[in-house]
Structure 1
């Protein structure tokens, strides 16, 4: 009979729930524009996004390795069985608090912050891998939204020049079809980056509980995380779809194509580099970039200010929450 600690089972279950909610929340990243421009019905769009999120999760493990071994040294925290659970609790607490206060927040950054805080609470300030955090976390955190904005802006400007003499009706009809391709690309890139974050967390937990000899992602972890995210995406997220599709900038099919393609290129590039980025921030800034290419007044710039607030607050605040959760678990004898 397998001797699997109850605490490890709890970590895996909570991590998969986190992955499920991530998929449910971030389904809007892939399908908001094709729903808002009426290219596909919400039901068809969700099925497509869920399937491609599932497929994207199997395309690499670079991000999983960054989460599992690039933020904290696995060897340094191998003796702490409550560390990963504290990181998850810290991220969940911060997500719930920001949800209650109506503040924008990245679940990905909250998870990273929770892990950093729990590691410091366990091993002191030497526990985090600061060079890797700077290179793989902080730098992409700043650059990915900027890249999303720039790519969205440049791609939309390029398309506008290429199609300056084209008839608007023909352009609209063509990009309705092309937007299905760009949305599929976005859904695949989302699965490639976001599902791997939970893979890394579960793999780190398995290592700290001495269930695996090295930081390699087991096949069952890949499968379970991919399924959790795919099922989460299938639940929808219609309020977020409405916000992404209408409140930032009124989208037409060509705008949706440009925003999705730009964001997917940035996310795929970050995934190849092993950088866990916020897909929500990236698609949001890509939409802003597309809107700004038309005219600056077309964009509701307050959204950009909210994103900046999220960049600044989320990781340190979630780190504090993760550290507090670790101390609580220590008092309960579960660290």
Structure 2
């Protein structure tokens, strides 16, 4: 099934669809605002780029990531849209989906106020899952064959990011150990910018697809379909999501840049480049296989791997502990909010 832009505009006459679209775009905007700064954190804190130019660059490459990668491989969007089952009542499904999105915005904005690097991926997954459980009255609303990919992504982003960070940093040190330090610093200043662009591109590719999957669900429901399996992703939808994420990224998140780029571990330019490259590779592999992962996980675990390549004491595990606790609380916290909001929305509307 192909969706035209005109039919999308007409569907906005449905209040539930309008609310779903507004909330989804709001979540995408918040994602660009709170998650995307992770991609440029190390580049800013090593002074390879100033904050505002780095944010503008990140916004541009987030835009490209959503557009280009979704055109090549949309498996992450398919995973998200097939992960839950809202049942056969498409009107009620629209209401529950709106509740899930409302909970994601509330949770994410609350965390960003305190400069905490949030996992928008986990918030999205938790929100959809909580709403599906609410409307179905139990776990039959969860498609475990797809949901298991979330666990794969959790392990993959942590382990692969850390290992790649450690290995790539060791390789860089081995290659450059006899070179002039001043010359290598100049090279890695430029390499960092390229690495940050790659991280931003892959952030857009991974997270942009997740929210495209949500919009596909909403458009399926408004057309009386219980799933988005037969819908082809149109170019206009990719553009809508990529522009929204790019604008959100341009708002910036300086508290998050400091938390990720400075508080976790002190990095030199070659180390920052290694972490960016490692994180981008982790996200690329996951995206190609349709595994939704946290871009925050991928970047922070890569930074830890880079820090550990020198010595474990170089990593501030107090900050790491705070982040891990935040990620752990996201699933039950955001899931519970979504469950309660879905029950409330269904009772009221």
- TM-score tier (shorter): over 0.9
Match of residue 35 from structure 1: 44
Contact 2:96 2:346 in 1 (8 A): no
Match of residue 227 from structure 1: 243
The answer to whether residue 67 in structure 2 is matched with residue 51 in structure 1 is no
Contact 1:148 1:285 in 2 (8 A): yes
State the distance in 2 between where 1:64 and 1:75 align.
20
State the distance in 2 between where 1:54 and 1:310 align.
27
Structure 2's unaligned 5+ residue stretches are 1-8
State the distance in 2 between where 1:326 and 1:9 align.
17
The answer to whether residue 26 in structure 2 is matched with residue 17 in structure 1 is yes
Equivalent residue for 1:144, pick from 142, 146, 157 = 157
State the distance in 2 between where 1:54 and 1:216 align.
20
Equivalent residue for 1:62, pick from 53, 68, 75 = 75
The answer to whether residue 321 in structure 2 is matched with residue 312 in structure 1 is no
State the shift of 1:26 in Å: 2.0
Alignment RMSD (CA, Å): 2.1
Q: Choose 151-160 or 33-42, whichever is displaced more.
A: 33-42
State the distance in 2 between where 1:273 and 1:20 align.
25
User: Judging changes above 3 Å, is the alpha-carbon distance between structure 1 residues 77 and 137 closer, same or farther for their aligned structure 2 residues?
Assistant: farther
TM value normalised by structure 2: 0.89
State the shift of 1:318 in Å: 1.8
User: Judging changes above 3 Å, is the alpha-carbon distance between structure 1 residues 101 and 228 closer, same or farther for their aligned structure 2 residues?
Assistant: closer
The answer to whether residue 139 in structure 2 is matched with residue 125 in structure 1 is yes
The answer to whether residue 177 in structure 2 is matched with residue 164 in structure 1 is yes
TM value normalised by structure 1: 0.92
User: Judging changes above 3 Å, is the alpha-carbon distance between structure 1 residues 216 and 25 closer, same or farther for their aligned structure 2 residues?
Assistant: same
State the distance in 2 between where 1:105 and 1:44 align.
23
State the shift of 1:299 in Å: 0.8
State the distance in 1 between where 2:208 and 2:274 align.
24
Residue deviations 1:17-49 (CA, integer Å, cap 9, x gap): 111111011232221122112212222212211
Q: Choose 90-99 or 276-285, whichever is displaced more.
A: 90-99
State the distance in 2 between where 1:102 and 1:258 align.
24
State the distance in 1 between where 2:251 and 2:209 align.
20
Contact 1:77 1:127 in 2 (8 A): no
Note the 1:260-279 alignment, pairs <5 A.
260-279=276-295
State the shift of 1:103 in Å: 6.3
State the shift of 1:327 in Å: 0.5
Match of residue 299 from structure 2: 283
Match of residue 72 from structure 1: 84
Contact 1:114 1:321 in 2 (8 A): yes
State the distance in 1 between where 2:168 and 2:86 align.
41
State the distance in 1 between where 2:239 and 2:102 align.
23
